[in-house]
Every structure is written in C-alpha cells, then in structure tokens.
Amino acid sequence: MEDEEMEKKVQQYLQRKGFRLTELALQEERNRISTSSVSDVALARSENDPARYYDGYSKLRTWAYSSLDQYKHELLRVLYPVFIHSFMDLVAEGHTQEARSFFHTFREDHELMHSRDLQKLEGILSPSHLEEMELARSLRQNQFRIKLCEYSYELLLQYLQKTQALVVLGIINERTTFDVSPGQPSLISDDTDVVALVGTKKDLAKQINLKEVHWGLLEDSVEERMEKTLLESDKTEAESKDADAEDNNKRKSSEGGKQGGSVKKVKKDKIAGATGKTNKSETSIVSVAPRVKPELTLPVIPVEVEQSILEDLRNRAQLNSLALPSVSFYTFLNTHNGLNCSSISHDGSLVVGGFSDSSVKVWDMSKIGQPPKTSSPQGENGLSQGERTSASDYGKRPYTLFQGHSGPVYSAAFSPFGDFLLSSSSDSTIRLWSTKLNANLVCYKGHNYPVWDVQFSPVGHYFASASHDRTARIWSMDKIQPLRIMAGHLSDVDCVQWHVNCNYIATGSSDKTVRLWDVQTGECIRMFIGHRSMVLSLAMSPDGRYMASGDEDGTIMMWDLSSGRCVSPLGGHSSCVWSLAYSCEGALLASGSADCTVKLWDVASSTKVLKTDDTSTNRLRMLKTLRTKSTPVYTLRFSRRNLLFAAGALSLGS
C-alpha cells in the first residue's frame, strides 16, 4: 500500500514539473516489471541482445519517414542523435561487428548533413577508440539540442509511449534536450542549428551570451582623429573658396550687370560644391557607433603614418549596392600546390605567400616587371652577407625570401602599416619578420601543436594566434610569452580575428562554433552556434557591431555581437569560404572561396532593417559574383581607399 502511494506521489510530481519523458520511462519500467508474460529469455534478450539497437532505430526511422509531410522534417531531426549513440553504445558493449553493420546500414540517412562527422566515426573499431577520439568524447559528454514545434513534440511522446522501445527512450532521455516552440513547425531552411551539440548544461550558450559586450569603436582612435582633421580641412577649404569668390565679385562688380550676374552664378556653384563635399564627408566617414575605452595599452602612431592615413581617407571611394569596388587580383603561378596561405598589405604594395617547404616569400608590387638589378659589390649597400642572402637577389628572383620555420607555413599577416610580418607554422612557432630589414626578429614559442592562423590587431603591436591545441593566444611583439590563453573550444581553433576596438577577439573552430573572448580577462563572452561544418574565416564590421563567419560547406553567417544572434545566414558558395572582408564604411561584404569566385553582398540594406525590427532574420542580397578562370581565392582585403585586393594560386586541376 505504501509503495502504491509513493508511486502516485512520484507520478504527480513528474506531471507537475512537466517531465514527460521521465514519466513515460517510469511507466514503461513498471509495465515491464509487472507483466508476467515476459519470459526470462525475452528479458535477457532485451537487455543484452545487440539487435535491440537495430530494431529500435529501424522502427523510429520508419515512423518518422511515414509521418505527415508538414512535420516530417522536424521528426527526422531525432534520428541523428539516436543513430550516433546507438552505434557508440554497441561499440562500448563490445559488439564491434554489429556496430559496423548498423553504421553502414543507416549512414546514408545522415550523409548529406553530417558527412564529416561520419568519416571520423567510421574509424571507431574498439571501446578504447571512444576515449581516444576527440569527436567521440565530445558526443558522449555533451547533449544534442533539437528544435521541434509543440505538435511534433507531442507526436514523438505518443510514439514513445505506444512502442516499448526502451533503448530509444533511454538515448533520447540521456543524450538529447528539446527546444519546443509553440505554433507551426519551422520551415526547412529557416534554422541552421536545429540539431546542435551543446554542453551538458541545457542553456550553456544562453548563459554565456547574457554577458555584456561593448561593441563600439575606440575613443580618440587614429581614424577618428583623421576624420575630424579631414572635416576641418574641408570646411577651411570651403571658407577660403567663399572668400576668394567674394573678392572676385567685388573686384568685378563695376564691369557690368551681365558680367556680375555671371560671377554670382560661379560663386553659387562653388559654394554648393564645397557644401556638398563637406556633407558627403560627414555622412560617409563619421561613424555613429558608440565609443569605448581601450583595455590594452595602445602603441603611439608615428606622424608619417597618420599623414598616410589622412591621405587615404581623403581619397576613399564611397561604396554601396550601386557603386561596387574595383578589384585587384594577384595570381600565384607555378606553385605546384605548395602555397598554403597568402596575405596582402593594407595598401596592396606587398604580397606574402607561405609555402609547404617552410619558406615565406614577399613580393613588392612596385618592383614587379622591372628589369633585374645588377649585383653590387659585397658591403657596398651596408648589408652583411647573411642579410643579403635572405633578401631579394633581383638577378635571380623577384621576391624576398624569409627562411626560419622547420615545417609548412599555414598563415601570414602584415602589420597595419606594413613594416612587420607574422608567420605561423606546423612547427608550433610564430615568427616576426621586418619587411624593412628583411630579417627575422623574434620566434614566439607557446603552442604545443601546429598554429593554423595568426592576425595582427588593428593598431599593431599585439597579435592573436589559433592552434591545433584547441586554444587561441594573445601576444605582444615585445614579449616572448603569451599575454592570455583562451581555452574552451572542443576541437582545433582554425581562425582568429580581432574586434575593431581591440578589446575582443573572435575564434572559429572545427567544433562548428564561433566564440568571442575578452582580451583583458580571457573569458568567453559569446558563443555562436549555427554552422554545420568547421569555421574557416571571420571578419568584423567597421562599426564593431556585426561579425561574419564562413565555413567549409560554403555557408556564410552574419552575427549581431550584442545579442549573439545570427541575423543573416547565406549559402552562396559551393565550397570552402577561405576569406571574408568588410568594406571600410561597412556597406559591402566580400567573400572568397575555393570555388574560384569572389562574391559581393549588400550588408547595408540588411542592417537597416535590423535597426527597425530586431526580431527579423534577413538574408543578404548578393550583388555580384566575380569568377576567376581557375584560381581558388585564398585572401581578401579592402584598402583604406576601398579598393578590394584578392589573391590565390592558379590551380589547373580545378
């Protein structure tokens, strides 16, 4: 009697808390125990026979595919977690042959969406592999979050209640968590993270994304000072033109009414022209983004560099959906598949390539096509024999050769002003080179595995690196040890990008997530979930509010840093997106891909809609596709004058 009352109280508690799946599991267990017709043989079979996984998944699969079309695409989302964990449970129980048969029988169900994961899991042949393989550990330690509408969720509960599929019920209870939304089911193409791997805490990403992010620009930044100087210069120029016109008008007023009228007309035209120029500068250059204080000690900018930036701002082209940028494409020839990475300086004058033979080569565009220089006697130019050997020998080669790495070079990046160069390699080191001295200055050692990416901060001096050891690190040029270590990704950190105010860095990983880190605390303050393959490229908008990320499948996603929400999912490329770049005013986004194309996207129209309706999700409008003959696009960069530079290696097999 006491047992019955206890069972009723437990059932009432589960109903009150809404634990439907637990309640069903309890009922099934009670029925299984109380049913006298279940023989010992059948019970032993249900607990130990590997066929129970095959039967459970097969029945669930048949039911999902025979459901109404309106809900079928949602119910099919349950199959992948059940398939993966059924396979790994079979391996863990020692049923290796049955696990292989189960895997190959049903893998086609998930080949389209999860081919990369399936290729890795195919190598699991013993229980020890489950502990050794990083992906398997991640899958077994975390849960899948599945998005369903309320009615689809009810259908799933009814199915589990009618069938005695305890194996399936156990996997769903233990390995999944449901994000149930009221109303009609979502469209098939609406969400990219309908089945996502998250931490054991159900709302891990939501908790992280509640932290505050100051996404504005730096107070008293170089460009802000230059913009103010430019505006003052334009106003002074307009005033001087007004004064000159008035003087001319006074001098010529006695020559006759007709001529005076002509002078007045000229004066009016000049004033209108000057005013129009000033207004253009104010609307296109002065940013309305909030200002924030820097968390890092910023370096002093030389006067000559400030003058160069001022000149670039004066001559900056204003881009929009009707005024697209000019593009300068640098093509590497005869690389024999040895080029791993490329980068371009801010003004396009220098191009660097990192090669599989551990070399780094820099081309000066101003010297391309010039006749070879005659070699000067030793010591005449003040360089030692060693420096002359590492520098360009124009009689033999048109580039500067940097040697020092002991493995393939995977990333290279110029400093904002082109005087320094960083390179990272499979030898787990980062090297700093001087483009003026043509020499290696520092070798930074800290990572334990290959370093996939390295990027200078927008102000120089500081740089960030991403590695196979699943960490990103922040360095300064004057210290050989990292200042911060960002740890938290579940797999390789493949790319890294600085925020425009230097207070944050973003990292993209093979775990299909993007994270935003605070450089002062080293803490993860945003987690962006939505990609279905490894994230290969990142870019920050000039105002610091948005971030774009590209992955291995060709998908591009634009994120709002303040909310952590994807605002514009794109799918314009058919292969890896290797590079992304925003134009200087933030109106356009350029993407470069292994499919041998550069695509231009209209960002301004999408962000205008977002400002009026924060709940909407928009798809960016593709403005133009620029195709190369047979050259995958390795890197993109907008100059300060809004000229788009791109580079890649000719691939005859493409």
Q: Quick one: pLDDT band at residue 638, thresholds 50, 70, 90?
A: very high
Q: What is the dihedral of CA 147, 152, 158, 163, to 10 degrees?
A: -70
Mean local confidence (pLDDT), 547-554 = 93
Q: Is 465 within 8 Å of 412 (Cβ atoms)?
A: no
* Apex 229 CA angle, 228 and 230, nearest 5: 90
Contacts of residue 379, Cβ cutoff 8 Å, sequence gap at least 6:
none
**Higher-scoring residue by pLDDT: 614, 194:** 194
Mean local confidence (pLDDT), 59-64 = 92
Domain assignments of the chain as residue spans, ordered by start: 50-203, 326-366+397-608+616-649
pLDDT greater than 60 at residue 266 = no
Residue environment code for 5-25, b if the CB has 16+ CB neighbours within 10 A, otherwise e: eeeeeeeeebeeeeebbebbb
Q: Quick one: pLDDT band at residue 443, thresholds 50, 70, 90?
A: very high
pLDDT tens, position by position, 86-124: 999 999 988 889 999 999 999 888 887 787 788 888 888
pLDDT tens, position by position, 315-368: 889 898 899 999 999 999 988 889 999 999 999 999 999 999 999 999 998 887
Q: What is the pLDDT of residue 193?
A: 55
Three-class secondary structure of residue 270 per DSSP: helix
User: Can you name the CATH fold of 50-203?
Assistant: 1.25.40
**Higher-scoring residue by pLDDT: 405, 45:** 405
Q: Tell me the range of 68-82, 219-233, 404-418 where mean pLDDT is highest.
A: 404-418
Residue 71 burial (CB count, 10 A): 20
Answer whether 50-203 and 326-366+397-608+616-649 agree in fold. no
Task: Provide the token pair at 484.
Answer: 């911060």
Nearest 5°: phi and psi at 249?
-65, -40
Mean local confidence (pLDDT), 247-263 = 52
Q: What is the pLDDT of residue 199?
A: 56
Instruction: Give the residue from 147, 144, 100 showing the smallest Cα distance to 122.
Output: 100
**Higher-scoring residue by pLDDT: 351, 282:** 351
pLDDT greater than 90 at residue 506 = yes
pLDDT greater than 50 at residue 391 = no
Task: Provide the token pair at 46.
Answer: 């249900």
pLDDT tens, position by position, 557-612: 999 998 888 888 777 788 999 999 999 988 999 999 999 999 999 988 766 655 54
Rounded Cα distance, 592 and 599, in Å: 7
Rounded Cα distance, 497 and 289, in Å: 20
Q: What is the mean pLDDT of the chain?
A: 81
pLDDT tens, position by position, 508-531: 999 889 999 999 989 999 999 888
Q: CA separation (Å) from 513 to 417, 498, 529?
A: 31, 17, 5
Q: What is the pLDDT of residue 608?
A: 62
**Higher-scoring residue by pLDDT: 259, 73:** 73
Q: What is the pLDDT of residue 46?
A: 52
Q: Quick one: pLDDT band at residue 2, thresholds 50, 70, 90?
A: low
Q: Quick one: pLDDT band at residue 503, thresholds 50, 70, 90?
A: very high
Class of the CATH-defined domain 326-366+397-608+616-649:
mainly beta
Q: Quick one: pLDDT band at residue 11, thresholds 50, 70, 90?
A: confident
Mean local confidence (pLDDT), 139-144 = 84
**Higher-scoring residue by pLDDT: 131, 235:** 131
Instruction: Give the residue from 558, 598, 548, 593 showing the smallest Cα distance to 575.
Output: 593
pLDDT greater than 90 at residue 452 = yes
Residue 115 burial (CB count, 10 A): 12
**What DSSP character marks residue 505?**
E
Rounded Cα distance, 45 and 88, in Å: 19
Residue environment code for 485-515, b if the CB has 16+ CB neighbours within 10 A, otherwise e: ebebbbbbbbbbbbbbbbbbbbbbbbbbbbb
Three-class secondary structure of residue 455 per DSSP: strand
pLDDT greater than 50 at residue 433 = yes
Q: Quick one: pLDDT band at residue 181, thresholds 50, 70, 90?
A: confident
pLDDT greater than 50 at residue 259 = no
Handedness of CA 443, 579, 220, 435 (dihedral sign): positive
Q: Is 359 within 8 Å of 335 (Cβ atoms)?
A: no
Mean local confidence (pLDDT), 544-550 = 93
According to DSSP, the residues that pair with 194 across neighbouring strands are none
Instruction: Give the residue from 641, 637, 614 showing the smallest Cα distance to 539.
Output: 637
Q: Quick one: pLDDT band at residue 537, thresholds 50, 70, 90?
A: very high
Rounded Cα distance, 185 and 40, in Å: 43
Instruction: Give the residue from 550, 583, 637 showing the smallest Cα distance to 330.
Output: 637
Q: CA separation (Å) from 297 to 153, 261, 459, 552?
A: 53, 59, 10, 36
pLDDT tens, position by position, 185-223: 876 544 445 666 665 433 567 778 888 888 888 777 766
Q: What is the pLDDT of residue 476?
A: 95
Long-range contacts of 96-104 (CB under 8 A, 24+ apart): 96/125, 96/126, 98/50, 98/51, 98/53, 98/54, 99/50, 99/124, 102/53, 102/54, 102/57
Would you mind telling me the total number of residues written for the chain in this entry? 654
211-220, 263-272, 452-461: segment of lowest average pLDDT: 263-272
Rounded Cα distance, 335 and 350, in Å: 18
* CB half-sphere exposure, 121, CA atoms < 13 A: 28
